[in-house]
Each structure stands twice: as structure tokens, then as C-alpha cells.
Chains A and B, each alone.
Chain A
Amino acid sequence: EAGVVQSPRYKIIEKKQPVAFWCNPISGHNTLYWYLQNLGQGPELLIRYENEEAVDDSQLPKDRFSAERLKGVDSTLKIQPAELGDSAVYLCASSLGDSYANTGELFFGEGSRLTVL
């Protein structure tokens, strides 16, 4: 079974440029997450989707970050414009489970490492 696929693995951009990350979850997983992992820190949730619906985006900086999961399968996370402080690893994860009973395992992708110069 294929795992969570993310691309690109690495991205270097100059500040104020836009960047987008793509995630394809495990087939059949209705819940998709985007996490931010700063150097030396644990992952922090940015947004969680249940199918097409963003059910928790309280930690997503909406002035520059946006995300979509139009058909309830793959998802895109965009930053526009990028700032120096956005340099981090952006992790995508997926899981089975409904909106309020997520006590199971998250399956993570390998992450997209962003460097903003």
C-alpha cells in the first residue's frame, strides 16, 4: 500500500515568492492534516480536513497561507508571499476516522522542506 505522498521534498525560494505543496493521502483516508515542523520542534497542526471540509483551521495564518482539498482526496497548501520565518518542514498526514473520534494513528508523509532566502 502506498503511503502519504508529498511533493516537492525540497524547495528553496526567495522571500515574497509564492510556494505550493501537494499531498496525496493514503487511499480511502478521509481525514487529511497539514502540520508545520520548525527546526527542533514537534509538528504543529495547521489545518485538518474531513473529506472536502476544513474542520480545524484555527492555526492557519490566513493572511498568507491557504489550503484546499477540492475533491476530498489530494490537497494543496500554498504560501503567498513567503517570509523568512516560513522556513520549515511542512508535513502532510492522513487517517481513517470521522470528525470527532480520531483516536487512531496518523500516517505521515516525508514532508516538504522549505527554505526561504
Chain B
Amino acid sequence: AQSVSQHNHHVILSEAASLELGCNYSYGGTVNLFWYVQYPGQHLQLLLKYFSGDPLVKGIKGFEAEFIKSKFSFNLRKPSVQWSDTAEYFCAVNRGRLGKLIFGQGTELSVKP
């Protein structure tokens, strides 16, 4: 079945550690890729997105993600996490003109001060 998979359900890091959250999708053809974040008690919001061009995209708060087409992956990275990055992170895929945004199951990130 076509899907979006996030490898880690819960990640616990200390402040200043590096972060990489995995995301794989199984759709063929052209896709648009997103990372959304949900801070505790807040609404889902866009962190970054990839439509085309440079496969390394930069988002807000120092996050970046790399699209590797051959691996059907769009992993999220941050060189040094902060306590305020504690949140749930969702990878999502949109198959362009079909318009439906498909989310992964989410990864909960806990950053210890």
C-alpha cells in the first residue's frame, strides 16, 4: 500500500545533540514533501517543504531536510537541538495535483535540558 513511514516513534535527545528523523514514502512519480511540527498544546504548522530544485531544503528554526529520490526519503535534520524543539514531527507527502496530503505516523521528540 502507498504510505509514508517514519522510522522512530519517540526520540529522546540531550540539548546540543544532533537530530535526524527518518521519513520514507512509497509513491512513484512526482511528489511534494513536507515536514510539519506540533509543539505541545499548539496546532500543526509547516516546518519546511520540498517541491523541486535543490534537494536540500532549509526551514524555520535551523531545521533542514534532504530529498533523496533514489531512496524515496526525506529525512529531517538539525545540527544542535534545543529544549524548545520538543514536539511531535510529521512527515507528509502530496502527490501534486491530486491534492491529498498523506501524513506519516509522527515522531515524538523529547529534548532534555
Given known contacts A42-B106, A43-B90, A43-B103, A100 and B97 CB-to-CB distance under 8 angstroms? yes
Q: Is there a chain A Cβ closer than 8 Å to B56's Cβ? A: no
User: Are A40 and B100 touching (Cβ within 8 A)?
Assistant: no
Chain A residues closer than 8 Å to B46, beta-carbon distance: 105-106
User: Are A56 and B97 touching (Cβ within 8 A)?
Assistant: no
Bound CA–CA A4/B51 (angstroms): 25
Bound CA–CA A42/B35 (angstroms): 12
Other-chain contact of A106, B4, B51, B98, B101 (Cβ < 8 Å): B101
Q: Which residue of B lies closest to A58 (CB)?
A: B100
Chain A residues closer than 8 Å to B49, beta-carbon distance: 105
* Interface residue count on the B side (C-beta < 8 Å): 24
Tell me how many residue pairs across A and B have CB atoms closer than 8 Å.
Answer: 55
**Contact segment of B12-20, B37-45, B72-80:** B37-45
Overall SS of chain A's interface: loop
Other-chain contact of A56, B51, B94, B100, B106 (Cβ < 8 Å): B100
Q: Is there a chain A Cβ closer than 8 Å to B32's Cβ? A: yes
Given known contacts A44-B103, A102-B94, A3 and B43 CB-to-CB distance under 8 angstroms? yes
Bound CA–CA A55/B99 (angstroms): 10
Bound CA–CA A42/B92 (angstroms): 9
List, sorted by A's number, 23 A–B pairs whose CB atoms are closer than 8 Å.
Answer: A4-B43, A40-B106, A41-B105, A41-B106, A42-B105, A43-B44, A43-B90, A43-B103, A45-B100, A45-B101, A56-B99, A91-B44, A97-B99, A102-B94, A103-B51, A103-B94, A103-B96, A105-B49, A106-B44, A106-B46, A109-B43, A110-B42, A111-B43
- Top 10 nearest A-B pairs by Cβ distance? A42-B103, A102-B99, A108-B44, A100-B97, A108-B43, A110-B43, A105-B46, A103-B32, A43-B103, A42-B105
